[in-house]
C-alpha cells in the first residue's frame, strides 16, 4: 500500500485570527479560508489530476488497483479516466481535503516600519514591553517543508536573545 497526498506549499489564500472578546482566556476566532483564492483550487485540481494520471495512465497502472470509494455528493464522469474529470476531483477536494497542519505567519516578523509587522527582528511584539513570540507564527511565509527545524531555530534565536539581554542588563 502507498499513499500519494499532494499539498499546495505556496497558497495564495490567507486566513485570519481575530479576538473573540477582550478576555484573554476566551478562544480566538480562527478562519483558515482554505482554497478561498480560485487559483489555489485550480492548482489543487491540477495536482490531484497528475496523481490520478500517474496511477491510471502510466506503467504504474499494472501495479495498482484503483477501488474508488463513492463520495456522497460526488459523481464520476462517465466513460473517461478520473484524471480527466475536473468536477469529480473538485468534489473530492471539497469533501475530503485537509490541511497539512503546518500553520505559520499569523504575526509576521519584519522591519518595525512595515505596517503588517507584528514582531521585530528581535522577536519582540511591537508596542508591548517584555513580550516575545518564538514560533512558526513569525514566519512571513511558510517553508516548503516541515516546520519543525525552522521552529527549533526560531526558539534557539529567542533563547539567545533573552540570555543576551540578561547578561547586558
**Calpha distance 15→45 (Å, rounded):** 20
Q: Give mean pLDDT in consecutive 10-residue pieces for the chain, a chain of 169 residues.
A: 80 90 94 94 95 90 75 85 92 87 86 89 92 93 86 96 79
pLDDT value at residue 67: 64
Longest CA span, the chain: 74
Domain definitions of the chain by residue range: 16-96, 102-169
Residue 7: active-site member: no
Write out pLDDT tens, residues 41-86: 999 999 999 999 998 899 988 888 776 667 888 888 888 888 999 9
> What are the beta bridge partners of residue 124?
132
Q: What is the pTM of this model?
A: 0.78
In this structure, the number of other CB atoms found within 10 A of the CB of residue 48 comes to 22
Catalytic residue (choose from 90, 102, 124, 157): 102
pLDDT at residue 152 in the model? 96
Amino acid at each position: 500500500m502507498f499513499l500519494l497526498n499532494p499539498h499546495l506549499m505556496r497558497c495564495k489564500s490567507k486566513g485570519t485570527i481575530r479576538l473573540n472578546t477582550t478576555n484573554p482566556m476566551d478562544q480566538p476566532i480562527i478562519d483558515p479560508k482554505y482554497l478561498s483564492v480560485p487559483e489555489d483550487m485550480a492548482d489543487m485540481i491540477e495536482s490531484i489530476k497528475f496523481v490520478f494520471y500517474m496511477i491510471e495512465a502510466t506503467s504504474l497502472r499494472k501495479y495498482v488497483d484503483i477501488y474508488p470509494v463513492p463520495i456522497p455528493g460526488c459523481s464520476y464522469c462517465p466513460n473517461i479516466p478520473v484524471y480527466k474529470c475536473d468536477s469529480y476531483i473538485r468534489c473530492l477536494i471539497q469533501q475530503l481535503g485537509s490541511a497539512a497542519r503546518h500553520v505559520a505567519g499569523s504575526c509576521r516578523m519584519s522591519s518595525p516600519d512595515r505596517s503588517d509587522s507584528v514582531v521585530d527582528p528581535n522577536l519582540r511584539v511591537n508596542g508591548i514591553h517584555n513580550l516575545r513570540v518564538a514560533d512558526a507564527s513569525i514566519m512571513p511565509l511558510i517553508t516548503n517543508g516541515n516546520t519543525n527545524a525552522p521552529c527549533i531555530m526560531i526558539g534557539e534565536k529567542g533563547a539567545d536573545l533573552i540570555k543576551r539581554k540578561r547578561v547586558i542588563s
